[in-house]
Every structure is written in C-alpha cells, then in structure tokens.
Chains A and B, each alone.
Chain A
Amino acid sequence: MIGKGILKGMVETARNLTGSFHDPDRLTTVEYPEQKIPAKENARNFPFLIYDGDDWETGLRCVSCQICEKECPPQCIYIEKDKEKKPDFLGKMQMQPKIFDIDVSVCMGCQICVEVCPFESIRMDNDFEYAGSDRFKSLLLTKDQLAKSNKYYHSIHPTEAQETDEIRVQKREDHLAKEKAKAEKLAKAKKEAASKAALSKAETAKEE
C-alpha cells in the first residue's frame, strides 16, 4: 500500500526527535571547547623537547647533534648550536642548541625525529589546539615553547615515558660500568708500571 513505508519512517524519526531529549545514549555529541574527551594514550601530534629537573634551560636533554634536523622529511626543524657547553646527565660536557625551532604548520607528525634522536630528547606531544592569526610567526614554536618537563611526558604517554626512562637508566649504568672498568684498568696499569719500576730498580741494584 502506498504510504505505509512513509508512515513507518515518520514514526522512526519522531522517535529520534523525542528520544534525543531524554536518552543520553542517543545524544552522543561532545560539545568540544567546554567538554573534552581525554586523549588516547597513543595520540600524537607534534614533537616537543624534554628537560629534566626544574629548570628547562639547564635540564634540556638536546645536545644539538642536528640528526633530527637532517632527517625531518619536510625540513621543518631549524637548529643552531651554542658555543657554550654544558654537562649532560652523565656529567660529560655536551653541546646545546642556541636556537631550536619547529614549524608546526609544516610538521606532518611522522615521528621520524623521535626515532632518530640518540639522546631521547625529542618526543611526540598530543596537544592539538594550535591556532594563530599570523601565517609565519605564531606557528613557529621556539625552544622555550617546545621545552616540556619529563613529568609532563609521563602524564601524556606513561608507557612510552617509562621505556624512555629505562633506556636512560641503562645508559647511566653502562656508563658507570665503563668508567669503573676504565678506572680499574688504569689502576692496574699503574700498579703494573709501579711493580715494573720496582722490579727494574731491584735488578739494577743487583747488577751493581
């Protein structure tokens, strides 16, 4: 019969219309700026620089080796080295960046910079609320905007941050072990040299 299907459809839409007022399952809209869905753990957007401790300038892990700058596919990282060096977490003197800029309007979020960084100093952020009135300046993030604490990293990507920390602990242990081995070797060499010297002294004394 002509018209039956139409009536059925009208009943269905009427059910939607009234249902959306009392059934929260139907109205799934999240009103964005006021309400937010917490980000998924693996969500990532643009990179940021990690620092340890409280002061971002001294704690910055980046040693400005410029590997990420060379690897970044769209070439959106710009680094200039500083002349001053500063000690890293192992106590070695390292370079540091004077300028570290990422143009997030160009960055495509590929995470290659993260993969190649040998110093665990650059990681992906999940902040997506970037907007600027200016095409060039406001989306060019500078060093101070990029620097974020390790604590923040733990809060956004806990699993990954844990792994990163473990790598660093491992590195420190390796370093300490190496230092120890070096020191032992040095001590041994010294001892040997000393005993050799003593021996040769004794020999010369015997000959005389």
Chain B
Amino acid sequence: MWFEELLIAIKHYLVLQMPGSLQPVGSAFLSCLPIMTSFGGLFALATLLERKMLGRIQNRYGPNRVGPGGLLQPVADGIKMLTKEDIVPKNADHLIHFLAPLGLLVSAMLGLSVIPFGHRLIALDIETGILFFFAVGAASELAIFMAGWGSRNKYALLGALRAIAQMISYEIPLILSALSVLMVVGSLSLSDVVQAQSGGIHTWHIFTPWGFLGCILFLISTLAEINRSPFDIPEAESELIAGHMTEYSGFKYALFFMAEGVAMFAMCALTATLFLGGYHAPFPILSFIPGPVWLFGKLTSLVLLFIWIRGTMPRLRADQLMEFAWKFMLPMSVVNLIAAGIWVALDGGVAAWISSGLLNFVAYFGWSRILSQASRFSPRTYRYAEEAGVSE
C-alpha cells in the first residue's frame, strides 16, 4: 500500500501547486498521464515480445538486429511509421477517415480509466465502472465502421462489416460471463470486485466453478472483441488485405495498431480484475510488493497467453465464427450465469461448490457431445485422401 499512498501523495502535492481554477483539470491530467505513458511504453514492448515469441514458436529468432537482442526494434518501427507518407484516398470521406483512428484509440484508452491499478489507484472510481468499460468498448465498433466507411474501399467496408458482426455477436457472451462476477460480488464497481478477492489466491474468482468457466468464456470473447487471432477475420490478410485499415498509412496506421494493443491491455486488465484478483498479491505475505506490479504482471501473462494462442491457431472462417458464438459461447455463458446464481443462493459453501461445479461440468461435456454429433463441430474427414491411403 505504501507505493499507492506515495503516488497519491505526489499527485496531491502537484495539484496543490496549481492555481485554484486549474486544479480539477490538472488533477484529471495527472491521473491520465501515468496510464497513457505506461501503456504506450508497454505497447511498444508488447509488439517486440509478440514478434520474438511468434518467431520462437516458428523456430526462428525473430527481430534481433536493432539494438542489443533487437530491443530497439519498436523505436525503429516507430520512426519508420512516422516518416511514411500519409495517404488519403481521393474519394474518401476525409473527416470520417481522419477521426476513425482517433476514436478507436480514445475508446481503448477510456476503458483503462476505470481499472483499479492499486489500492485507491483508479483514475475514475465510479459506481458503474464495468458498465462504463463496456459502453466505451462498444464505441470502438463505431470507430472501426467509420474507418471502413470513410475509406471508400470495398475491402475496408467488408472488413468493417465483418468486424461489426463479430463484435456484436461476441459482446453477448462477454458481458454475460462478466455478469456472473457482478452477481456474486453484488456491485458494478470494479473496486468492489477487487476488494472481494483480497484474501489471497483462494478467494480469486477463477478458482470457483463459475469463475473458471466464466474466465475462459471471457478470454475467448475478448479475443474476438479485440479482433485478435484466431478471430481476426475483420482484417484477414489473405482475404481482405488489411480490412478496415487498408486505406491507412503512416501515423494513422500506427494509431490503429496502438489502439488494438491498448484495447488488448484494457481487456486483459479487466480480466485480471474480474477473475484473477486484480492488484492483489496471491499470498498476503507478498503484499509488500506494490499493487500495480501485480496487476501488470497478471496483465502481461494474459498478453503472453494471447500471443501463444495467436502462434497456435489458424483463422476461423466467418460462418464458423458465428456458429461458435451463438451455438457454444452463448449457451455456455447462460449456464454459467445459472451456476453463479446457485452459488449466490447457497452462499458459497461446499454445497455451492458441488452443485454449480456439477452444473457447469455436465453442461460443458453434454453440450460439446451434442455439438460434436452435429458434424460441423467434429473433426473433418477427408474421404478421398483416406481412401487413397494418404491419411496418417
């Protein structure tokens, strides 16, 4: 806690130095500044980490030329992006084309403002924090559609349409799985959610039956929300060039990437807050390490997980993606909600553990069995190849 108190004290001191009329603005600015700078820096590091890790997964080195071990690669990338020409198509809607990347970045950054980074270390501590988070997150859909529409390019428009369809479909399981946490905690405020998991690793929501399934569903929907592989069909390179980013170049293109990165961090931070104990240490003995360190650690491990997934899975087809959302994710998140309801009703004892665990277990295995029988979810068979004896 000393670290958080120190930061808050510094901020108060700085605010008091300002003239009275400037103080509210100054205070807001001082709250934003650490978030914007630290996540900007984290984004740069994450791009490098992603390329390095993908390289290793594919048994190659990854970038290792600029600086020691390739550490300065993000700087080189940044310089390259900034010095590139900014081209706007002649027939594009200039205003919308210009506003889209900004809107995307702003909506991603706003989401970070309600995340508690430590005890009392939260830029915007509102009662309905999670509602705010999802509301501004949904604004990114608008920004992506602005990008697709404003560029006057068929690929861009198609990418944007896909993005809208995908984000709206996955928003439902995303919010439903987050809802289970809110039901149990009984508050929409993220500080309360974190406070409910303060007792050490066994109080984290992921170690409950509903939390476990909820966390997995939440992570999958998160991948779809931020258009990351394997749900990156809105910008599928092999089909749509770059989707809604097709007509962007130079700094605006970089802004898109930055917005995507920041949205990923925001989502990971929310996952950590909802299910992984937020800024709390896993064991109370370790709580002398400041909260932000824990939160960033959890966030980074989730980012690593996302990179690992990206290195593993191929892109889904558009119809498979929709089917997965509506036939699997949605039923499972509703079942999970019921399990959370049972947990609340039985007040979290052994009986609650068994009954909600059983419900989730049975639902998952039963439902995936039923779906597997509907041939579309089962592994494909290659009849001709197998007849010719080519199969394994």
Tell me, yes or no, whether A binds B: yes
Chain A residues with CB under 8 Å of chain B are 1-3, 5-6, 9-10, 12-14, 16-17, 19-21, 26-29, 31
* Pairs of residues from A and B, 9 with the lowest C-beta to C-beta distance, nearest first: A2-B368, A13-B312, A26-B59, A9-B312, A20-B56, A13-B57, A17-B56, A20-B59, A17-B57
* Residue from the list A9, A10, A19, A29 in contact with B60, Cβ < 8 A: A29
Given contacts A9-B313, A14-B308, contact A3 B59 (CB under 8 A): no
A-B contact count (CB 8 A): 47
Give the most central of A1, A2, A10, A26: most B CB within 10 Å: A2
B389 CB, min distance to chain A CBs, angstroms: 23
User: Judging by beta carbons under 8 Å apart, are B328 and A2 in contact?
Assistant: yes
Interface check B369, CB cutoff 8 A:
yes
- 15 A-B pairs, CB-CB below 8 angstroms? A1-B365, A1-B368, A2-B377, A3-B368, A5-B379, A10-B312, A13-B311, A14-B308, A16-B56, A16-B58, A16-B59, A19-B59, A20-B56, A26-B59, A29-B61
Give the most central of B59, B60, B308, B365: most A CB within 10 Å: B59
Mark B78-118 against chain A: 1 for CB-CB distance below 8 A, else 0.
Answer: 00000000000000000000000000000000000000000
Q: With A and B bound together, what is the CA distance between A99 and B204 in angstroms?
A: 82
Known: A5-B379, A13-B311. 9 other contacts (CB 8 A): A1-B372, A10-B309, A12-B312, A13-B308, A19-B59, A20-B56, A20-B59, A28-B59, A31-B61
- Judged by DSSP, the binding face of A is helix
A171 CB, min distance to chain B CBs, angstroms: 51
Interface check B53, CB cutoff 8 A:
yes
Mark B290-318 against chain A: 1 for CB-CB distance below 8 A, else 0.
Answer: 00000000000000000011011100000
Nearest B residue to A23 via CB reads B59
Nearest B residue to A2 via CB reads B368
**Chain A residues positioned under 8 Å from B313 (CB to CB):** 6, 9
Give the most central of B53, B57, B328: most A CB within 10 Å: B57
**Chain A residues positioned under 8 Å from B309 (CB to CB):** 10
Q: With A and B bound together, what is the CA distance between A145 and B50 in angstroms?
A: 45
B126 CB, min distance to chain A CBs, angstroms: 36
B110 CB, min distance to chain A CBs, angstroms: 32
Interface check B36, CB cutoff 8 A:
no
B39 CB, min distance to chain A CBs, angstroms: 26
